[in-house]
Structure 1
Amino acid sequence: MTVTGSPYRDRMRRVLDHIEGHADGDCSVETLAGIAAFSPFHFHRQFGATTGLPVARYVHLVRMKRAAYRLAYRTDRITEIAFDAGYDAPDAFARAFRRCLGRSPSAFRKAPDREPWHAAFAPLDQARNQSMPPPFTVHDVTIQDRPAIPVAIMTHRGDLTTLPATIQRFIAWRKARGLKPKDHATFTIFHTDPRTTPPAEHRLDLCVATDRRIEPDDEGVVAGLIPGGRCAVLRVIGQSDDLEPAALFLYRDWLPDSGEELRDFPLHAQRVTFFPDVAEKDAVTDLFLPLR
């Protein structure tokens, strides 16, 4: 059974938005059924038909994903993360986290591994994509003339399974220098295509906007420049860890009929708001395709 009518999708979208925005609050079946305007009995069936997951499983994965991001990229205490994930005791949270990710919270924080991490949350992402595909249209793309932006760059090379460790180093480096995201924009430059590039040859740059003098250091951070010029811009809301659908839309759907030509600089993104600082549905990423 598949739900295709837009009224039902709209009702389920409100439910998914509530779960993501209140992962540490009330996500009871009664509350979610009320948001969807179904009886609890019919809500169970409708939710499963729309997402392919039971309600409790979906809520659990949303909470675990937020916990994983906080463990990897924030310095929140594990006890605090456990309470926010709905557990009264850190031990209970640790057991649940190990079942989900295969490692204890403390071990995961020290060395997050992208492959099991993404595998654990693949059912959650599939459920969202199955029921709520990204609504990109040509009207979502704008053309902007962008100024040149001086940046500090930390490059990740090699298999993307080790990318979380590079992100951890990048966050620590900029934090030590007071380059806060609210004052210094965050960018990612994509030099290679994960679909066609051998894992060992992947390259992307993690960047923070700054006009400070950057001296090369032990972390490999160097000064760089995102050149100014015309760009096609697509705003992506939610799921900022998977920009492939948006990138494919720009290259495959928008560009051929646009009459535009590409400039010799890679696709890049500005991270406007970050998950887990905001609910995943509220994460905002602007994707830039440089044009002549």
Structure 2
Amino acid sequence: MKLNILGCYAATPRSLNNPTAQVLEIKNHLFLIDCGEGTQVQLRKNKVRFSRINHIFISHLHGDHFFGLPGLVSTFRLLGRKTPLHVYGPKGIKEALTLLLKLGDSWTNYPLLFHELTSSDSELIFEDDTVSVSTIPLQHRVYTNGFLFKEKPGLRQLNVAAAEKYRIDRCYYQNIKNGKDIRLDDNKLVPNAELTFDPPKPKSYAFCSDTAYTTSIVPLIKDVDVLYHEATFLETEKDLAPKTKHATAKEAASIAKAANVGKLILGHFSTRYKSIELFKEEAETIFSNVALADDGKEFDL
């Protein structure tokens, strides 16, 4: 599981700072999370293959989180895309995007599928055999969701030495990985636990931006491996957080501590600050395992 930060700054882009967009690689999926202005340029710079992006998750309809989507959708068309593209986002995203396509007479030549979200409760919005994605309702000035990505448990790992000890034919190895017991020629039943090791612990990633401080999300992200939480402000401007429905670095750290997450990644920094290291320093007074997002930074999770 890898996370590639394409942009992680609040509001307007600057010459070296891009608005929110990131790519999560998990179980052979390449999920694009938010799509701020300039996302497709950042995808190029970070050498992310456009053709591998089949699912885009948009947290809310503020420009710094989705103004890059029309351009990306159009570029997919110019590149001759044929595979379906799924877009998950608040109700209204279909109207906004299709209006631009209509006015420009540039309908896609590939299936463009919208999954509009309206629920104020957490809901499962994507699932296959390897991974699931659920919403995390957030508190912002407009309807907003975070997203929880969870791996599903993999197959059990074969204990080759044990299988050879019982002289089990290789043709049964897949059944063993699938969790089945094996009956030997002498009618002895060998329990699957003797022939396998537990699979690796499934990993999980929670994306929470933009949001005011709210403990309502804690049960939804309990024990996740990695939490990305917005930290727009430092304590010196904490009075702005409730007014704008954003959070401070300390508030993000408090959420991470309450949810017992493995690692906290801070992002969505206001560009008023000269150094983002200050966010890490403040958060570490509450939660120890803190990292800072930054444009072009990759995390091996």
Normalising by the residue count of structure 1, what TM-score does the alignment of the two structures yield? 0.29
Q: Point out the structure with the larger strand share.
A: 2
Q: Point out the structure with the larger helix share.
A: 1
Normalising by the residue count of structure 2, what TM-score does the alignment of the two structures yield? 0.28
Which of these two proteins has the greater Rg computed from alpha carbons?
2
